[in-house]
Chain A
Amino acid sequence: MVDVIIIAGYLSLLIVLGVISKYFFRGTSVDYFVASHSIGPFLLLMSVFGTTMTAFALVGSTGEAFEKGIGVYGMMASWSGLIHSAVFFIVGIKLWAYGKKYGYVTQVQYFRDRFESNSLGFLLFPVLVFLVIPYLITGIMGAGSVMRAVTAGSFMDLFPETGGGIPSWLTGLVICVVVLTYVFLGGLRAAVWANTFQTIVFMVMGCITFMIISDRLGGISAASQMVQPEKLVRGEGISHLHFLTYCFIPLSVGMFPHLFQHWLTAKTAKTFRLTVIAHPIFIMIVWAPCILIGIWATGAFITMEDGTVQKLIPEGVNPNAVLGIMVNKLAGEPLAGFLTAGILAAIMSSLDSQFMCLGTMFTNDIVIHHFGKDHFSEKQKVWMARSFITIIVVITYFLSIIEPRSVFQLGVWCFSGFASLFPLVFASIYWKRTTSIAAHACVLVTVVVWFYLFRASGYGADPDFLIYGMMPVTLIFAASAITIVVVSLLTQPPSPKTIDKFFAKQLQEV
C-alpha cells in the first residue's frame, strides 16, 4: 500500500509540473508544438534521451536478458549508442536547420516541401501514426506489467484475479490520464520539463534499484555466480548474422516523428553537441544494470517463510514482469514504490512526446494544411491537437489490453518500420536526385513489406522470427533503399527551385 501511495505522489508531482508549465505557455501554436525553439543543451539532452528510453529499455531489456542473456546489450544498447549519435549528427542537425530556416514544425511539412508533393504528406501521415501506435502500446503494457508485478499480494480483496496486484488495465488508464493532463496543460514545453525530471528520476532510481537488488542477492559477485551459464554468453543462442543485422534498428531515430519535434525545440545547432556526446554513455548507464538484473533473475532464489527455497522468477512467467517481480520481492516497501516510480518515469517520458507529436502532426499536416493556417485561431489549433491525441490514446489503450505482446518484440517491430524509412530521410538530405515518385514508392514498399513480414511473425507473437538468419528489418530496409534509388533514377528529377532551396552551392558543407 505504501508503494502505491508513493507512486500516486509521484504522478501528482507530474501534474503539478504541467500546471506550472502552463504559466510559461505563450498561447501560440508554435509554443505549444515546439516550445518556441527555446530549449538549451541540457534540456535537449534530457528530453531526447528520456524520449528514447522507454518501456523497451527498462522492462523489455530486463525481460529479454532474462530469456536470452547478455547479447541483448550488444544487439540494442551498444549499437544504439553509436548509431543514434550518428543519426543526430548526420540527419538531426540538418533537419533542425531546415526546420528553423523554413518554419517546419513536423516531418511531413519538410517532406512535402522537399519533394514538392502534397500527396506524399497524406501518404506519410497515416504510416507514421500507425507506426507510433505499437510504440505507445509498449509503454502502456510495460507500465501495466510492472505495477501488477510490484503490487502483487497487496490488494487480495480488491483484485483476487491478479493475485492482489493492480490490474494492467487500471495502471494503463491512470498513466494515460496523467500524461494527457500535463501535455494538455503545457504542450511540448511540459513534455520537455517532465522528460528532464523523469530522466533524472529513472537514472537515479535505476542505479539505486541495481544496488539494492544486487545487495539482496548477496552482492554483485554472488549474483553473477548464480546466473545460468548460457546467459553469460551469446553462444549458440544468437547467431552472428542476427547480432550484426540488429544495427538497422537504431536508424529508426532518424524517422521518429516525436524526436523530430524535439530536435526542432533546439535553440541553436550547438545545442545538439551535448546530446551527440552523452547519448551513448547515458544508454550504457540505463541498459547495463537492466541487463545484469535480467540475467541475475535466471539464477536467483528466495527463501520462503516456511524455510523452503524457491526460484525468484517462477517458470513460464511473462518476461515483461521480470523487473517488477525482482523489485517486489527484493526491495520491499517503501523502496519498491520509489523504484517503480523510476520505471514509470522512463515509460511516461516517452509517452508524452509521442502523444504530442500525434497532435502536432494531425493539426499541422492535415487540418491546417487543408484549410490554411489563418482559418483557425491559435486556441482552436491547440484544441484540435488535443482532440486527436485523445482519440489515438483511447484506441491504443484498448489495443494494449486486448492484445498483449512482449514489450521487447513489439518495440523491435515498431523500430523496424521507422528504420526502414531511414533511406527516405537520408536520401532527401544528401542526394539531390531523389524524386517525389521515388519517395512515394519508398513509403509504399516499406509499408507492404513490413506488414507482410509482421503478419508472417504472427503480428509480433513469434520472438524468433528471422529471415535467412537475419533481422526482418534487413529485408525491409533493403527494399526501401533499392526502391528509392532505382525509382529516382527512372523518374524526373526535382525542380531547379527545390534543388537550389536545399542544395544550393553556398549551402554545401565545407
Chain B
Amino acid sequence: MKRMVVWILIILAVLHHDFWFWHDSRLVLGFLPVGLAYHIFFSVLSGVCWAFVVFFAWPEEWVEKIEGRQR
C-alpha cells in the first residue's frame, strides 16, 4: 500500500508538468485557457486519487497501535 501511494505521487508529479500546453492559447468551453483547464482537471484528479488512497491505503492498524486500541 505504501508503494501505491508513492507511485500515485510520482505519476501525478509527472502529469503536472504539461509541457504540451505550454504555448497553447486555445480556450476550452469558450472561456477557459487550455493550460488552466488542464490544471483544474489535475486538481480534481488529485482529490480523486487521495480519496482512493484514503479508502484503500489508510494506515488503520498503525493508528490503532499508536492509540493503544489494539491488544
Contact = CB atoms under 8 A, between A and B. Distances in A.
Contact of A507 (B44, B50, B65): B65
A82 B33 contact: no
Contact of B61 (A82, A295, A510): A510
B63 A89 contact: no
Interface centre among A78, A98, A283, by most B CB within 10 Å?
Answer: A78
Contacts of A288: 36, 40
A71 B18 CA distance: 11
A342 interface: no
B17 interface: yes
A224 B47 contact: no
A273 B53 CA distance: 10
B50 A276 contact: yes
A268 B19 CA distance: 41
Nearest to A85: B50
Interface in B25-71: 25, 27, 30-33, 35-36, 39-40, 42-44, 46-47, 50-51, 53-54, 58-59, 61-63, 65-68
Contacts of B33: 70, 224, 227, 232-233, 295
Contact of B12 (A82, A224, A269): A82
The size bracket of the interface on B is 35 or more
Interface string A267-279: 0111001001111
Interface centre among B19, B27, B61, by most A CB within 10 Å?
Answer: B27
Given A224-B32, A277-B47, A281-B43, A82 B9 contact: yes
Contacts of B3: none
Interface in B1-34: 1-2, 5, 9, 12-13, 16-19, 21-25, 27, 30-33
A81 interface: yes
A276 B13 contact: no
Interface string A78-102: 1101100110011001000110110
A280 B25 CA distance: 25
B46 A78 contact: yes
A194 to B, nearest CB: 26
Binding site secondary structure of chain B? helix
A227 B46 CA distance: 28
Interface stretch (A142-150, A239-247, A344-352, A375-383): A239-247
A68 interface: no
Contacts of B13: 82, 247
Contact of B59 (A82, A276, A509): A509
Interface centre among A86, A279, A283, by most B CB within 10 Å?
Answer: A86
A167 B2 CA distance: 52
A77 B41 CA distance: 12
A279 B32 CA distance: 22
B26 to A, nearest CB: 8
A85 B46 contact: yes
A283 B43 contact: yes
A291 B31 CA distance: 12
B36 A70 contact: yes
Contacts of B40: 73, 78, 284, 288
A234 interface: yes
A234 to B, nearest CB: 5
Given A97-B67, A234-B22, A89 B50 contact: yes
B5 A89 contact: yes
Nearest to B1: A510
B22 A507 contact: no
A493 to B, nearest CB: 23
A314 interface: no
Nearest to A90: B5
A188 interface: no
A77 B39 contact: yes
Nearest to A269: B63
Interface of B: 1-2, 5, 9, 12-13, 16-19, 21-25, 27, 30-33, 35-36, 39-40, 42-44, 46-47, 50-51, 53-54, 58-59, 61-63, 65-68
**A-B interface, 8 closest residue pairs, ranked by CB to CB distance from nearest:** A284-B43, A280-B46, A220-B31, A224-B31, A269-B63, A78-B39, A232-B25, A221-B30
Interface of A: 70-71, 73-74, 77-79, 81-82, 85-86, 89-90, 93, 97-98, 100-101, 220-221, 223-225, 227, 229, 232-235, 240, 243-244, 247, 268-270, 273, 276-281, 283-284, 288, 291-292, 295, 506-510
7 contacts: A73-B40, A82-B12, A89-B53, A220-B30, A224-B27, A232-B25, A288-B40
